[in-house]
Structures are given as C-alpha cells and as structure tokens.
Structure 1
Amino acid sequence: MPVLNRIADMADEMKGWRRHLHQYPELEFDCHETAAFIEARLREMGVDEIHPAIARSGIVGIINGQGEGPTIGLRADMDALAIVEATGTDYASKVPGKMHACGHDGHVTMLLGAAKYLCETRRFSGRVALLFQPAEEEGGGGQVMVQEGVMDRFDITEVYGIHNAPGVPFGHFQTNPGALMASVDTAIVTLTGKGGHGATPHECIDPVVAVVAMVQAVQTIIPRNVYALDEAVISVTQIHTGTASNIIPEEAMFCATIRCFNPEVRNLLKRRVYEIVEGHALAFNVKAKIDYDWGYPATINHPDQTEFATQVAAEISGANAVNGSAPREMGSEDFSYMLEARPGSYLFLGTGPGAGLHHPAYDFNDEISPVGASFFARLVERALPIAGK
C-alpha cells in the first residue's frame, strides 16, 4: 500500500496524538480542550492561518501552497459520545460516561497528519482549508459551520471527508456518486387522555389503546405510501406509558426515527405521520402533541468529485481496494450540509475487524491513520497541481 513515505514516518507520532485525544473525549459543541490540542499542533506545524471558535469550538486552519489557485476543504469531526468505555486499554477515556466510540479522535489525527505533511512539502497551488468540526453526533455542527459562513469566508470550492469503517477490509475505500447516507428525522408523539381505575375504563379516555393503534398505523406508511424502490425506514424505538397494573394512565408517548434519501419522500413521510397521529387522536378522543425534529439531510456526493476521490484512493490503496459504487446506507452524517453548500465527496475507509461504531468496546485502529492522511494529502496535490509540474 503506497502510503506517502513522510506520512509513514509519522505513524508513531499520529498514534500518540490519537491516544491522547481518546483519553479526553468531549461532547457536542463543547470540544474546547480538543480544539486547544489541535490548535497547538497546527501552530507547531506552521499552518499559515488558524481561526478558532467557529461553531463555538471548531477550528479552520489554512495552508498556503505555491502560487494562486482555489481552496480545497478537508473536514474532520471532533466530538465523542455519551457512552461508558469498555475497551480496557491503558489509554481509555479518563472522563466518566464519555468515549470516542465513533473514531472522531482518529479522524482528527488523519487530518493533522495530512496537515503536517502539506506544511512541510507545499507541493500544491492554491490553499487547503482544514475544517475541524464539533457536534457531528448531536447538534449539527456541520450546519452551524456552514451557517457561520466558512465556505464563503475561506473561498472553499470543494470539500471532502472520510469516516472510518470497522468490519470493512483494512485500507479499502467505499463510496458512491450520489446518495450515500440517509436523512434522519425524529418524531416524538405525546398523547393525553383521562386516567382512572383499570376496572372502570368507561370513565377514562385511554391513551394506551390510542398509542398502540398509532404505532401500528405508522408502520404502514412505507409499504403503502412509498414506492418500493425509494428506500425508507420508520422505526418506532420507544413507547412509554403507565405506572401500575390497575391504573389507566393519563399519558402515553412513542418515538420514531425516520430515514430516507429522496427529499420528496422525506416530505411525504412527515405529512403521513401527522395525518395518522391527528386522525387517530380524533378517533380515540385523545389530545396529541407532535414534536417533529427535521434532522440531518441525506449525504449526497457529487459525481465528478467522487470519481476524482476514488482515483486518488486507488493511488493509495490500489484499484482493487476501492469500491466507487458502494450501496448506500441508512445511517446519517452532518457532512451533508457541507455537500449542500459545495461540491465534494464523502468516503468510508475500512479499518479491518473490530467492534462496531458506537459500541462500548470500539477502538479506532491506529494503523489506518497513515492511509487516511495520505489520501487527504494526495487529494490536495492532485486537485491543486503546481503550474508547470
């Protein structure tokens, strides 16, 4: 695997960065210590401009190449998850109830490795914008960075990102030139009836039977309203009601996650959820409150940039280790907002066997860091060649 030699020489240093970050995970927008570590490394490397406090704790670093040219954005997310770690490593999280269970510590490390190489070599024209983003797991930090104007402020013309993929063969890249990951919305429905004794249901307005009927009806939306080839998922993940065997409760609630790829289907799903809940509320004589969280949009790659990214990936891992027509998946990712703002591509990078993402035993495979860093660095050199070279 032709990892860039200078980056291969950084492997131990990158491992040290990653394992330090792993011990001090931070959540959502509160990634201030992580940002301070990143900023210190960027200053040591000689990054030309460092812009902190974007989306509260995000950072944009600018590296200037040789001569004029466009600006390529490279993104790494920074935040961790509210999970109790179960890896048992000597570098396990030192923060109770928090861990890097999705590998964002590794994503930061790969981008830092690429940044160090690019600062040393400068074998490109134009500029590189290093986008260190908070709040991917919760909060939509990618959206906030876009709303705060990073694309226009730094004249970013294209943007790229990668995500580690345990279970995919080591060093293999996967992506596709269209919808790669789904949009994600959440419906929380609260029903209010009239509680009372279970022996006298005629004196009550029972929210339990109403919630059961609604959940069953919601499950008919996709098979009876969505074209079979328009992939979509509605999963009811919570139902809460009642406190005792002989009491009809006052309230009941259910929660559902709603995912698809097509914006028209997304609007249809929302409309049908409202129609079913409101109709059943009338039928069962309960009051219904719907909190519908319009979440991350689908992550949709741009074809030209994706073809280019897969060519670069093939240079690093070999053509047989790159799948540019990978199936899309129902997970979600707020890199979608950056792809709505600028052309670009998102790729998965296989890390080999290991616990899955968001699992308490997950641990980022440090051996993959030079591969990801080489991909980022080579992408810049290919996208921004020096005139005459």
Structure 2
Amino acid sequence: MHPTTPDALRADSAFLDRLTEIRRDIHRHPETAFEERRTSDIVAGILEDLGMEIHRGLGKTGVVGTLKGKRGGDRVIGLRADMDALFIEEQTGLPYASQINGKMHACGHDGHTTMLLGAAVKLAADPDFAGTLHFIFQPAEEGLGGARVMIEEGLFDLFPCDAVYGLHNGPKEPLGRVQTRSGPYMAAGDTWEVIFEGTGGHGAVPHTATDPTIPAGQFVASIAQIISRLVSSNDAAVVSVGHMNAGDYNSPNIIPSKVVIRGTARSYRPEVRDLLERSLARFAESCAAPHDVTARLIYTRRYPPLINTADQVAVAVAAAEATVGDGMVDGNAPLAGGSEDFSFMLERVPGAYVMIGNGDSGNAAFVHTPKYDFNDELIPIGVAYWLNVVREELGGEA
C-alpha cells in the first residue's frame, strides 16, 4: 500500500461530491443519543452495498462493518466514528441547516461519520492489506456514554481488536493540523452536586433559622483551594461551578431551606480523580457543620480520562505525517480539558485518538455552539488519514 494524500482524493471529484452530499444530508437530519436510526440506516446501507458483513443494534443504533484484507493476516484493528447530534437550535443559516427544531450537529459527528464511510468505500474497493478491519459507528457520544454501552453489550467480545483508533475535528485549529499525545490526553469528565439543607426561615429574623446560604457561599469561595493547595503542581485538574439554585425569585425575604450547587470536575489520573471527590465532600461538610446545616455530595463519574497508548500514537503520527506532512503534526500536544467517551474503548484496547483541525477562518465557530459547522474541506484529509492508519497497521505482509 502507498500513502494516500488528500490531493489524490480531491482528484476524484465524484467521490468527494458524494461524501459531501452524505455529510450535509446527515446534518439536515440530526439525531440525538440512542435515537440515530436514520443515520445508522444510511451507514448500514452503504456498508452493505460495499459487500461488508454488518452487525446492528449494539447501543441500540450502533453499526459495525467488517472488512477482511485480501492478503490474509491475523491482526485486527477498529476504526471508530460517532454519529449523534446535540440539543441546540441551529443558527447557521446554511442551505443544509438542521430541519429538526432544537437539534443540530454542533460537534461535527456528521463529518466524522462521513469520513469513516469514505475510508470504507476506498478500502472495500481494494482491500490490499493484511488483517481485518472493524468500522465502528457509535451512538450517544454526547454525555450518555454510547461507547460504554456498546462495550457492555459485547462490542469487543463480538469484534476483538488488537488496536482501536478514533478522531475528532479540532475546532478553530488550522485545517488539517493533527494533534495527539501518548498517555493521558483528554480529561475525565465528572459531574458533582452538593446539597446544603437547613430549616430556612424569615429573612428579618435569621437567628430563628438555620441558613444554608452562608455555608454554600463559603463552599463556592473555598473550592479553588482544592486545586491550588491539594493537587500537585505536576498534575492538571479543574473544579468548576456551573449551577446554583436556592429559594424563589419572588420571595427575597425568605431564607431558603435548601441550596443546590452543581459543577464539573476534570482530571487526568485516577488518584487525582479520587482526591477531587474526597475533597469536595470534606469541604462541603466543613462549611456546613458550624452553621448546623447538613451537606451531601453526589459525585457522578461520567467519562474516564482518555489515555493513548504509545505504540498506537506512533502509528497515528506516522499516518498523519503521510497525510499532511510532519510540519502539520504535533505528537506531544498539550493536555485537552474536554472529555470523550472513546476513553472507554481505550480502557479495553490499546489505541490512539487524534484531533484534526477544522479550520481557523474568521467565521469559524467553536463546537457546541449554534453557529458551528463541520468544514467539508476536512473530508479528504480525514479519509486520507484513515487510509494511512490502515497502511501503517496492516500494510505489511501477512
């Protein structure tokens, strides 16, 4: 197998026009977590037309297509794309904007699905590799852990892999710039909630009440110390407040009996994750006790840290350099604060996850915003990257 360049794919205008049409069709019809029925029908139909064996139903709407190389070989790798959209009202004004009120592809999963489909088309036309490929199209990446569900329902039991690869478009990054790193790359994404409860009472006579607003305020002001004083300077972590609720807007003279504070916690190592959970509970309780108020922590571990394997990062970097040139590849990228449920797959199978720049023009919008759009100029770059990953992994002799 020879390296594939984006220019070689751009020369096949009919191929790229078809992929652009598929991407924009998926964009018009966004489907949120575990409801990606139309999208999975499109994926399954294309894979079936290519002559692949397909499996449907993992994670409700997941699709796995299997392609065997014509040169034999025992090595098996998985290539994964996510399919789900978000609950956001689109404001792009594009001719292919979402036709579903309150839903849009605001993270580029329409593009991720399309790029992997493009790679499947090219590889099925000439499976000149030694081994087996599983094309994994996953539902529900956005918050509901579709990767975890697919695994729990037997993904890697039915389709064992020696390595697995994933990618994401890099919002507001130069088009085609590839970033990755060995070891921890993306953060564990956890949600926490602290509930302070007292008796409440009339605001004119606070001495007759136990007031949960005072310890709640002290708690919010103090939790920055968890990062600055308890987490080692060699580690990265974040604790942020995203929601506070107490009382009634129309009753400012009433001390509420309950204050609810919710937020996110991000970390890259299990030990730090444990520390954040313990510390949030301890800080809440220490603020509450002097005021005769109770505090209760609910800590929900959502996505684990995404930890890349060194050998597979080397494969990914080589594939990226073959695709866009070594000047456009950073194999030691900074830690990324976002979370990604591909991390569940990497807990089970060695692999690598990369970010590929979606373009940084003046009108480029960030993901998870109403004006975001996947850049179709990234399609040939992403397809070429996938083909070069297969070349690096399975391009040798059986």
TM-score with structure 1 length normalisation?
0.96
Q: Kindly indicate whether the alpha-carbon contact (under 8 Å) linking 1:231 and 1:261 is maintained by their aligned counterparts in 2.
A: yes
- Of all paired residues, the percent bearing the same amino acid is 43
Q: Kindly indicate whether the alpha-carbon contact (under 8 Å) linking 1:15 and 1:366 is maintained by their aligned counterparts in 2.
A: yes
CA distance in 1 between counterparts of 2:299 and 2:232 reads: 23
Gap change, CA 1:141 and 1:165, over 3 Å in 2: same
- What is the DSSP-based 3-state SS (H/G/I as helix, E as strand, rest coil) of the residue aligned with 1:15? helix
Residues 288-323 of structure 1: per-residue CA shift (max 9 Å, x gap): 232211111111111111011101110110111111
- What is the DSSP-based 3-state SS (H/G/I as helix, E as strand, rest coil) of the residue aligned with 2:192? strand
**Which amino acid counterpart does residue 140 of structure 2 have in structure 1?**
A
**Which amino acid counterpart does residue 359 of structure 1 have in structure 2?**
T
Does residue 1:39 correspond to 2:44, yes or no?
yes
Select the residue among 124, 128, 131 that pairs with 1:126: 131
CA distance in 2 between counterparts of 1:150 and 1:125 reads: 22
Range moving further from structure 2, 71-80 or 286-295: 286-295
Does residue 1:106 correspond to 2:111, yes or no?
yes
Residues 263-295 of structure 1: per-residue CA shift (max 9 Å, x gap): 111101111111111222222212223221111
Is there any run of 5+ residues in structure 2 with no aligned partner, and where? none
The aligned residue for residue 91 of structure 2 is 86
Residues 37-71 of structure 1: per-residue CA shift (max 9 Å, x gap): 11111112222x11001011111110111113211
Q: Aligned-residue CA RMSD in angstroms?
A: 1.4
Gap change, CA 1:366 and 1:237, over 3 Å in 2: same
Does residue 1:115 correspond to 2:91, yes or no?
no
Select the residue among 162, 166, 170 that pairs with 2:175: 170
Please show how residues 243-282 of structure 1 align to structure 2 within 5 Å: 243=248, 244-282=251-289
The aligned residue for residue 233 of structure 2 is 228
The aligned residue for residue 332 of structure 1 is 339
The aligned residue for residue 347 of structure 1 is 354
Residues 299-349 of structure 1: per-residue CA shift (max 9 Å, x gap): 111111101110111011011111111111111111111111111100000
**Which amino acid counterpart does residue 320 of structure 2 have in structure 1?**
A
CA distance in 2 between counterparts of 1:148 and 1:8 reads: 41
Please show how residues 1-389 of structure 1 align to structure 2 within 5 Å: 2-3=5-6, 5=8, 8-9=11-12, 10-47=15-52, 49-66=53-70, 67-243=72-248, 244-353=251-360, 354-385=364-395, 387=397
CA distance in 1 between counterparts of 2:220 and 2:336 reads: 24
Q: Kindly indicate whether the alpha-carbon contact (under 8 Å) linking 2:280 and 2:297 is maintained by their aligned counterparts in 1.
A: no
CA distance in 2 between counterparts of 1:175 and 1:386 reads: 24
Deviation at 1:386, TM superposition (A): 5.2
Deviation at 1:32, TM superposition (A): 1.4
Q: Kindly indicate whether the alpha-carbon contact (under 8 Å) linking 1:123 and 1:381 is maintained by their aligned counterparts in 2.
A: no
CA distance in 1 between counterparts of 2:296 and 2:275 reads: 19
**Which amino acid counterpart does residue 331 of structure 1 have in structure 2?**
G
CA distance in 1 between counterparts of 2:346 and 2:10 reads: 28
CA distance in 2 between counterparts of 1:46 and 1:12 reads: 22
**Which amino acid counterpart does residue 174 of structure 1 have in structure 2?**
Q
CA distance in 1 between counterparts of 2:119 and 2:11 reads: 11
- What is the DSSP-based 3-state SS (H/G/I as helix, E as strand, rest coil) of the residue aligned with 1:220? helix
Deviation at 1:149, TM superposition (A): 2.2
**Which amino acid counterpart does residue 57 of structure 2 have in structure 1?**
A
**Which amino acid counterpart does residue 8 of structure 2 have in structure 1?**
N
Q: Kindly indicate whether the alpha-carbon contact (under 8 Å) linking 1:161 and 1:346 is maintained by their aligned counterparts in 2.
A: yes
Q: Kindly indicate whether the alpha-carbon contact (under 8 Å) linking 1:7 and 1:114 is maintained by their aligned counterparts in 2.
A: no
**Which amino acid counterpart does residue 339 of structure 1 have in structure 2?**
L
Q: Kindly indicate whether the alpha-carbon contact (under 8 Å) linking 1:123 and 1:386 is maintained by their aligned counterparts in 2.
A: no
CA distance in 2 between counterparts of 1:32 and 1:72 reads: 25
Gap change, CA 1:373 and 1:80, over 3 Å in 2: same
CA distance in 1 between counterparts of 2:10 and 2:73 reads: 25
CA distance in 1 between counterparts of 2:388 and 2:356 reads: 15
